[in-house]
Amino acid sequence: MAFVLLVGLGVAAAFLFAASGVYNVAASRGHWWIVDQFLRFGMENSVKARAPETSPNLDDADLIRLGAAHFHGGCAFCHGAPGSRPSPVVQHMLPSPPDLAERVDRWTDGELFWLVKHGLKYAGMPAWPAQDRDDEIWSVVAFLRQLPDLDARHYEELALAEVQVDGGGGRELATAESDPDGVGACARCHGDAGRGPQTKLVPRLQGQSRDWLARSLRDYAEGARHSGIMQPLAAALKPEAIEKLATYYAGLPPLAPDDDPRRGSVEEGQKLATSGDPGAEIPACISCHGSDGSPDYPRLAGQPARYLSAQLAAWRNGKGGTSPTHAIMAPIAARLTDQQIADVSAFFASQRVVGHPGLAP
Amino acid sequence: MTSTAERETAELPNPLPRPRDELRRLQAVWAIPEGWRILSAVNNSVIGYFYIGAAFLFFVLAGVLALLMRVQLAVPGNLFLDQESYNQIFTMHGTVMMFLFAVPAVEAMGVLLLPQMLGARDLPFPRLGAFAFWAYLVGGLVFFSTLFFDMAPSGGWFMYPPLTGSRFSPGTGADFWLLGIGFIEISAIAGAIEIIVGVLRTRAPGMSLDKMPIFAWTMLIFAVMIVFAFPAVILATMMLELERAFDWPFFIPDRGGDALLWQHLFWFFGHPEVYIIFLPAAGMVSMIVPTMAATPLVGYRLIVVALIATGFFSFGLWVHHMFTTGIPAMSLGFFSAASMAVSVPSGIQVFSWIATMAAGRLRITAASLFVLGFLFIFTLGGLTGVMVAMVPFDWQAHDTYFVVAHFHYVLVGGMVFPLFAAFYYWAPAFSRRALSERLGKIAFVLMFVGFNIAFFPMHIAGLIGMPRRVYTYPAGLGWETPNLASTIGAFMIAAGVLVFLLDLIRHLRPTVGASAGNVWNAGTLEWLENDVHAARSVPFVESRDPLWEDARLSADVHKGRYYLPGTVTGRRETIVTSAILAEPQYVVRLTGPGWAHLLAAIFTAAFFLLLTVKLVTAAIICGAVAIACVVAWAWDTDSPSAGDVDIGGGIRLPTYAVGAASHSWWAMIILMAVAGALYLSYVFSYLYLWTVRPQDWPPIAPLASHAGWIASAALLCISAAALWASGRSIRAAVPRLWLTVGLTVVGLLTLLLGLGADVASHWLAGLRPQHSGYAALVFTAGFLQAEIVAAVCIMGIFACVRILVGLTDGRRSVVFDNMVLLWGYGLGQGALGLLLTHGFPRLGM
Amino acid sequence: MNQSVLEPNGAEAERIADLALMLFGGAAIIFFGVMALAAASVWGGVSVRRAIASERMIVAAGIAFPVITLTALLFYSLWLMRANIQGNATPPAGRIEVAAEQWWWRITYVEPDGRRISEANELRLPVGREVELVLTSPDVIHSLWIPAIGGKLDMIPGRTNRMRVSIDGPGIYRGQCAEYCGGPHALMAFDVIALEATEFDAWVRGDVAGGSTETVRGRGIFEESGCGSCHAVRGANASGLVGPDLSRVGGRRTIAAGTLPTSRENLTRFIVDGQSIKPGNLMPPFGLFAAEDVDAISAYLMSLQ
């Protein structure tokens, strides 16, 4: 009875505290020291309790480049980056986003992963937009591990690749719709005419069909295809911009294969890609993805093996989206073994593109 | 009744008046913990109540699932349930009804009724019984709740691979089935061991086997059948789980496994299972009919023979579930003959009940109505059973709604109706008030009419082509009308069950001390005036219906004039008697309430369920806690001798027994029978796979070197020598307990090393369990041996510690003796394993 | 069309139907006899009840009678199974391989010259000719059951079962998978079309009559969209072995193994949204086609007869 009474009193006191308005919620004034310590203590333990214990190999140039490219567009605005400070607006948030170069060493890989994936309540740190794309999140963690050692020049090399972002003169800056940081530049990751992607984790868009390119961007924009990296970028594009981009990349000549996959057997992959495995209910890949397939489907020849493997793995795990193409590939990918994924990826990575389907209707 | 006058003058074992505080002390030692502490109770009356309540809960839950299915099938092309939900629901309906309702319900009736019916104070292993119950309840509730998380199995209650293998059933549903049901079966076996020892060793003095109530006979046969049938399915579930978790391809045809192996093992369990459920229910009928007709059972001996014959035959007809698998026609003929033969003993029972009803005058009570309904339904089910035993007919009827109708007639008719009869019949013995006759009759009419409306049309639906386990069906095949009728009937049954529940709420007032009493004027001992300690004194039994033979028996028992009217050692006690003639042998002290067995049950359940969801670390912690709880519970079960005690009538009995006289020795022997049955199922699997897949055997597969089996055999021999020597040393004139401990440790280590040498020899030869069905079976021998070795080692450490602290020695040796028994068994099994995995492949080379 | 045991149209089914009727009759007599005895034991007069209440009655009714009846029945059933017990010495007049897959039927007509003609989901049989069905499964256990023709026989991975069927007259019968095979087991049926032998032979050897000019566009989309990686159409650029052969799909009575009547609309529905019609089937939903494109495919498929 006394216990019930005590609990009742506690609840009533807490209610009165909130009802009275005594506590100041203004971001312009910090928390009381004790409150701040308590919140931090709770946050850190919550993260530690939930973080995964294992991580993939993060010392991986492809992962780091992809992470850097995303960091530049997705994180630097709030957290700053080597050579640029965060916006003053952001600095007046409570809590204000920390300078990550100083902080990342406090966390394990798993904890960073958890923070990037789930974000933090009441701290302005958003969750990863595609909760089923752990592979992308690890690329950000891989980059964060490099961050403390980067200066401005190396950062730019990683984040911008060879994209020039001087943005023209003052007039252009003052009057045109432009992006002084080059955040939206596709070429930072995917390359452009004659130059392939910076990382083997993204597709080569050069010479793909316009239909497929446009459909992919629309799917990202609508959230029907999941990617924490591509969704925000595509969502910012207007329909005309999508058409223009698709036309641009479709018109570029396909690139010669230059990937040297370490895993998988090209011969086995060729068998699977050309004949399928009827016993395991796997159709031949080239029926759709070969040189005379429908423009609704991507050409896989010459694509990086790691990109193909990651996509197949995402589909196989039942992830990646709700788009019509996803609905076709997910059940097929689910029937593939790890070895088959490696083989078939190796095969396509070794293939030269035949013809130039990009501008076909 | 003429003997009453003679008994007036006869000397009863104990004189009146009884000492003033004798009854108070008796009640005190048997007291049931109050309030929420009742969870720690172990009295059979409490656990029995819980047990029946839980089984009935699962009956209602599985019944709700049946209603969902009937709604879905009421009309063709219905969209009420989607395909996956329906598949999960029919799987859960069958599984829950068979494993969580039927078997536990009859086991529960045994726990509740047997001690009182046999004149014992309680079952011989109260905490084991309570453990079995709690394990079942926790495991069952978690298993059932998988439905709410879309994680329920959907492979059908007989879980045929390859459909239930990891390729076609990814996800955890099948794992829940395999680990959950495997675990609940282990709990059923624990209950069976207790029932066998209880029936054979704790009957009232004078109650020789030929005076034992038929219900006790059926529970005995029930439990023996569990001991031999359940291990087959435990092995099968173990193998399928090994296949799913570690890729041991027992049932994958492309990799040297065989899909039908599962069916053989499953139905070797599954067919006896039907009789396991039916026999005790028939036993209840054999108790109710004589009382309601007020005349002794006609054909007692014929019924006993029929029961034993049923138990025996039921192991010889598992193949009749496989008539359509394409096995050779001649063996079909044999199993067809056996399947028909098994109907004869059931016929004997039916005609015995009819003869008994004719011999007396049947009172039409609710219980009688349920019995008559049972006769009607079960006879029809038996006749359709003969039909499906005809192989050509079965080729058409198999896996159709005809079979669904058949087994519901047999199981609902043969088990559920007798169970409801039993509820109405025995409620007055365990409740302050009898149940309502009026509500009971209404419930009966609804259930009986509803049952026939629900299930008779299914015969027709099956004959006009409707297969079972379909979540929908097209219009235009004539299936609409029978299906709609079945749905209407199903809801009538549900209404009947609701009326029964209403009756329970209004009239059932559970009690152990102040029951309504012998309202039917029955003749058996469970109708004596009972309290927490069962009857006040243990009667001497001279006939099959003692209360009818001796009108004063009830009063004399209650005054304490028979044996053991109080507590002689200040503890809970019951008299252990000889197995056949029930001559008093010793007084066993029973354990009282406790928490260790309850925690052990919860953590054992947690171990299995956490394994299912692949939380291995947490599972291992729970497993270790469970073992610790078992050790804590076992620690104070082996009380030292309290000298000889007087139970009245000039009979002095010892309070400690070793060897074959000890009830605990019997339990160990039965446990070894379980392990032996498991291993024989394994031997069958090994040889069976050889007959269908000899191409995977050595020399194609690598064969272990001679050194392997020689080393292993030598180690087993050393272990055997240590076993013999340790047994001698503990009983030596001058016992040297350190020597006993040393020999035991050496013996167990060599047993362990023998296993290690065997497994290592196969491994070093290059064989891996993932290679083929053959290879997986070779390593399964090691897996099974490892289980026994682990159990022996735990028991060995336990015994050694007790020797060192002075709790076990040459006279107080039950703990040590039990360990030695299992150790000896482990040596034999190890040797057989060597013969099989090293010797057999060399035969053909 | 029927799926009934009680309307047999094949030798084995007729024998079993006769057996069934005999069993039902006998069972009815025994059942009413036992019930009458039970009623007499409860409500009968004293003399009747005294006659019933004896162990002699139990022995007579519970042992002697069933042993005699059941023995007779057993021998009768063995006699019915004599063909299965002795085995077939004569080779069958035709052979058809049926492989059950989750959740459809792969059917191959094996010609006497060894030529193999692939079909799916509809079994055509010649009247009056004994045909051997060779039953297999590549995935899980299924069971072939055509009640009007005979009993069922399981199709078990790793094993081959053989079943002889002969059919008395032309007609259409329905068969269904009788062993639970997961997912849409309920939607795994097929039609059996019994044809006169000459008609049957002409059909088996007949050419695919598809490909009229108005379906050229549909055929083009069919080929470039990858349909042929799973499905085969003789004469088209489609030789996939994963799914059902579509060479004569337009001539079948149903699509998706007895799930829907064959029609242009239903083909379109299945291509676009097969997962809601037959959940779990292995064909992905092709929702990305424009409506006129998928309609063109369906029109092309309807033309394949």
Report d(CA B122, CA B445) in Å as an integer: 37
| Per-residue confidence (pLDDT) for residue A25, from 0 to 100 | 82
Q: What is the pLDDT averaged over residues B589-601?
A: 93
B684-843: CATH topology is Four Helix Bundle (Hemerythrin (Met), subunit A) (1.20.120)
Report d(CA B666, CA B198) in Å as an integer: 10
Backbone angles phi, psi at C117, to 5 degrees: -115, 120
Count of the separate structural domains present in chain C: 3
Report the candidate in C223, C289, C267 with the shortest Cα–Cα distance to residue A324: C289
Report d(CA B646, CA B654) in Å as an integer: 9
A137 lies in some domain:
yes
Distance from CA of C62 to the nearest CA of B (A): 4
Contacts of B742 (CB under 8 A, 6+ apart): none
Backbone angles phi, psi at B577, to 5 degrees: -120, 170
Report the candidate in A27, A35, A65, A28 with the shortest Cα–Cα distance to residue A154: A65
- Percent share of chain B, pLDDT over 70: 99
Residues of A in contact with C225 (CB under 8 A): 288, 293-294, 296
Domain ranges, residue A48: 39-160
Q: What is the pLDDT averaged over residues B301-314?
A: 94
Can you state the angle between helices B182-201 and B126-145, rounded to 10 degrees? 160
Q: Do B302 and C44 lie within an 8 Å CB cutoff?
A: no
A240 lies in some domain:
no
Q: Is C240 on the interface with A (CB under 8 A)?
A: yes
| Per-residue confidence (pLDDT) for residue B2, from 0 to 100 | 42
**Which band of pLDDT confidence, cut at 50, 70 and 90, is reported for residue A196?**
confident
| Per-residue confidence (pLDDT) for residue B9, from 0 to 100 | 44
Dihedral angle, C-alpha B483, B485, B490, B493, nearest 10 °: -160
Identify residues of A whose CB sits under 8 angstroms from chain C CBs: 215, 276, 278-279, 281-285, 287-288, 292-294, 296-297, 324-325, 327-332
Q: How crowded is residue A67: how many other Cβ atoms within 10 Å of its Cβ?
A: 32
Structure tokens at B130: 């309570």
Predicted TM-score (pTM) of this structure: 0.91
Last residue of one domain, picked from the residues A160, A176, A207: A160
Report d(CA B670, CA B584) in Å as an integer: 22
| Per-residue confidence (pLDDT) for residue A341, from 0 to 100 | 94
Domain ranges, residue C295: 213-303
Of chain A, the end-to-end C-alpha distance in Å amounts to 79
The runs of H, that is alpha helices, within chain A are 2-20, 33-50, 61-74, 76-79, 88-91, 100-103, 109-118, 134-146, 152-160, 170-175, 187-190, 210-222, 230-235, 239-251, 266-275, 286-289, 305-316, 324-333, 338-349
Count of the separate structural domains present in chain A: 2
At residue A178, does pLDDT exceed 60?
Answer: no
A234 lies in some domain:
no
Q: Assess whether C116 and C191 both reside in one domain.
A: yes
Q: Assess whether C101 and C188 both reside in one domain.
A: yes
Nearest CA in chain C to B399: C178
Structure tokens at B712: 């292993």
| Residue pair B117/B525 in contact by the 8 Å Cβ criterion | yes
* ipTM score: 0.96
At residue B564, does pLDDT exceed 90?
Answer: yes
| Residue pair B220/B195 in contact by the 8 Å Cβ criterion | yes
Q: Assess whether C226 and C269 both reside in one domain.
A: yes
Q: What is the pLDDT averaged over residues C194-207?
A: 91
Report d(CA B9, CA A350) in Å as an integer: 107
Q: Assess whether C119 and C162 both reside in one domain.
A: yes
Residues of C in contact with B87 (CB under 8 A): 182-183, 185
| Per-residue confidence (pLDDT) for residue C152, from 0 to 100 | 94
| Per-residue confidence (pLDDT) for residue A161, from 0 to 100 | 76
Nearest CA in chain A to C282: A331
C263 lies in some domain:
yes
Pick B20 or B418 by higher pLDDT. Answer: B418
- Percent share of chain A, pLDDT over 90: 34
- CATH (domain of C150): 2.60.40.420
Report d(CA C119, CA C108) in Å as an integer: 6
Last residue of one domain, picked from the residues C86, C113, C148: C86
pLDDT tens track for B190-202: 999 999 999 999 9
Last residue of one domain, picked from the residues A120, A145, A160: A160
Nearest CA in chain B to C7: B464
Q: What is the pLDDT averaged over residues B563-570?
A: 92
What one-character DSSP code corresponds to residue B18?
A: P
SS3 A295: coil
Among A292, A296, A332, the residue with its CB nearest the CB of C288 is A296
SS3 C106: strand
Residue labelled with tokens 């006979």: B217
DSSP A142-199: HHHHHGGG--HHHHHHHHHTT------SHHHHHHS---TT-TT-THHHH-BTTB--SS
Report d(CA B600, CA C152) in Å as an integer: 48
Q: Assess whether C178 and C114 both reside in one domain.
A: yes
Dihedral angle, C-alpha C155, C157, C159, C161, nearest 10 °: 10
Report d(CA B755, CA B712) in Å as an integer: 7
Among B340, B380, B465, the residue with its CB nearest the CB of C74 is B340
- CATH (domain of A337): 1.10.760.10
- CATH (domain of A45): 1.10.760
Last residue of one domain, picked from the residues C44, C65, C86: C86
| Per-residue confidence (pLDDT) for residue C211, from 0 to 100 | 62
C241 lies in some domain:
yes
Q: Assess whether C176 and C132 both reside in one domain.
A: yes
A51 lies in some domain:
yes
pLDDT tens track for B340-399: 888 899 999 999 999 999 999 999 999 999 999 999 999 999 999 999 998 899 999 999
At residue C239, does pLDDT exceed 80?
Answer: yes
Q: Which amino acid is at B113?
A: L
pLDDT tens track for A82-129: 888 888 888 888 888 888 888 888 899 999 999 999 999 888 899 999
Q: Do A288 and C287 lie within an 8 Å CB cutoff?
A: no
| Per-residue confidence (pLDDT) for residue C30, from 0 to 100 | 95
Structure tokens at B511: 């009690």
Q: What is the pLDDT averaged over residues B674-679?
A: 97
| Per-residue confidence (pLDDT) for residue B546, from 0 to 100 | 95
Report d(CA A327, CA C287) in Å as an integer: 8
B40-507: CATH topology is Cytochrome C Oxidase; Chain A (1.20.210)
Last residue of one domain, picked from the residues A98, A133, A160: A160
| Residue pair A236/A184 in contact by the 8 Å Cβ criterion | yes
| Per-residue confidence (pLDDT) for residue A319, from 0 to 100 | 66
Q: Is B359 on the interface with C (CB under 8 A)?
A: yes
C1 lies in some domain:
no
A101 lies in some domain:
yes
* Per-residue exposure over A180-195, b if at least 16 CB sit within 10 Å of its own CB, e if not: ebbbebbbbbbbbeee
pLDDT tens track for A257-314: 877 767 778 999 999 999 999 888 899 999 889 888 888 899 999 899 999 998 998 8
Q: What is the pLDDT averaged over residues A187-195?
A: 85
C2 lies in some domain:
no
Last residue of one domain, picked from the residues C86, C105, C129: C86
At residue B88, does pLDDT exceed 70?
Answer: yes
Which of A212, A271, A296, A299 is the best residue to mutate to test the C interface, defined by the most C CB atoms within 10 Å of its own CB? A296
At residue B176, does pLDDT exceed 60?
Answer: yes
Work out whether strand C94-101 and strand C131-136 pair parallel, antiparallel, or are unpaired. parallel
| Per-residue confidence (pLDDT) for residue A183, from 0 to 100 | 63
What one-character DSSP code corresponds to residue A260?
A: -
pLDDT tens track for A34-93: 888 898 898 888 898 888 888 889 998 999 999 999 998 889 888 988 888 888 888 888
Spacing of C-alpha B467 from chain mean position? 31
> How many angstroms separate the Cα of C81 from the Cα of each of B360, B388, C86, C163?
47, 14, 9, 13
Q: Assess whether C187 and C268 both reside in one domain.
A: no
- Percent share of chain B, pLDDT over 90: 84
Q: How crowded is residue A350: how many other Cβ atoms within 10 Å of its Cβ?
A: 18
Q: Which amino acid is at B517?
A: G
Q: What is the pLDDT averaged over residues B95-101?
A: 95
Residues of C in contact with B387 (CB under 8 A): 20, 23, 27
Q: Assess whether C123 and C101 both reside in one domain.
A: yes
Of chain B, the end-to-end C-alpha distance in Å amounts to 74
A248 lies in some domain:
no
What are the residue ranges spanned by the domains of chain B?
40-507, 684-843
Residues of C in contact with A324 (CB under 8 A): 285-288
| Per-residue confidence (pLDDT) for residue A158, from 0 to 100 | 87
